[in-house]
Amino acid sequence: MKPKVFVTREVFDETLDYLAQYCEVESNQQDMPLTAEALAQRLAEKDGVVCCLTDRIDAGLLERCPRLGIVANIAVGYNNIDIAACTARGVMATNTPGVLDDSTADLAWALMLGTARRLTEVESYIRAGEWTGWRLKQWLGVDVHHATLGIIGMGRIGQVIARRASGFEMKVLYCNRRPVANEIERRLSATHVSKDELLAQSDFVILQVPYSPETHHLIGAAELKKMKPTAILINSTRGGVVDDAALVAALRDGTIRGAGLDVFENEPRLHPGFLELKNIVLAPHIGSSTEATRRAMAMTAAKNLVAGLTGGMPSNLLNPEVKEA
């Protein structure tokens, strides 16, 4: 008998076709967000789940789903999953790293360029019919080329962002829990510095760290004050890494020049102050949202799930000790 699995949100047809070869599949193709109670009910008799970052998989849910053997997240981040609780119950947990690096880096660059050249402001200006002609000092932005780029978090995506900086002839600084290999630094022309030094020297600061208790409000009022008043902050990693209230205040009073954000605290709810600001570019958590990348993410999660349920080793297992036990 095939194992029973549930897919928590709408996915692509080829994902469902692949899963159906190995599993009895139920999918939320209506794409309705599920409450914690609804999710627990749908998973009560399931052997596996393909879930998204909006689905909370915690000890309480696992207690109600004794058959569950694997949680396959369609995301590289996994702060929606209690890994310790999964491990304690012998449940495998997987993610989808690698396939979204380039698309996510592209979005970070889009936010940086859009904020630097004030694209959302000028588009609104044109759409409102306010443009009456060219002026020398009209809509002055800031240059990206030859500027200093500071990257906080030099993992896979941070390195892809840094690689793109060479085309703009930027100086690249980075801070990380530990420096990357010398070979990588040379290839990226990147220099490891302290966070304070990076904040003080950078014209653009891009955050690329996972969310965790250690990175909660990594950028707050104190850090924003260390940045140049002409600097721009980009957050395309996870909400909660930035203190959104402190950022709103910094943008209002000119502590920094601008910000580009793809993620927010308590999303999809936004701090209302963001909507009152003009020196900001806002996007609805679309870092990996290209068709090719999202298809690859969904298929990677499906393959992780199938491997786990058919006795294999999922390629992206977050808690390998479960298989070793």
Cis peptide before 268 (omega within 30 of 0): yes
Structure tokens at 98: 């690698």
Say which of 238, 257, 265, 294 is annotated catalytic: 238
CA separation (Å) from 35 to 4, 21, 52, 138?
Answer: 21, 29, 13, 49
Closest CA relative to residue 95, chosen from 107, 84, 80, 109: 80
Instruction: Note the maximum CA span of the chain.
Output: 72
The backbone torsions φ and ψ at residue 219, rounded to the nearest 5 degrees and listed phi first, read: -115, 110
**Residue 215, CB-side half-sphere exposure with 13 Å CA sphere:** 20
Check if 285 is active-site: yes
Check if 130 is active-site: no
Check if 145 is active-site: no
d(CA 314, CA 307): 5
Q: Where are the alpha helices (DSSP H) in the chain?
A: 13-22, 36-43, 59-64, 83-88, 101-116, 119-127, 156-165, 182-188, 195-201, 221-226, 244-253, 291-309, 321-324
> Please, what is the angle between helix 13-22 and helix 291-309, to 10°?
10
Say which of 10, 24, 185, 267 is annotated catalytic: 267
The backbone torsions φ and ψ at residue 108, rounded to the nearest 5 degrees and listed phi first, read: -60, -40
Look up tokens 């058959």; give the residue.
67
Say which of 9, 118, 257, 285 is annotated catalytic: 285
d(CA 150, CA 175): 8
Catalytic residue ranges? 238, 267, 285
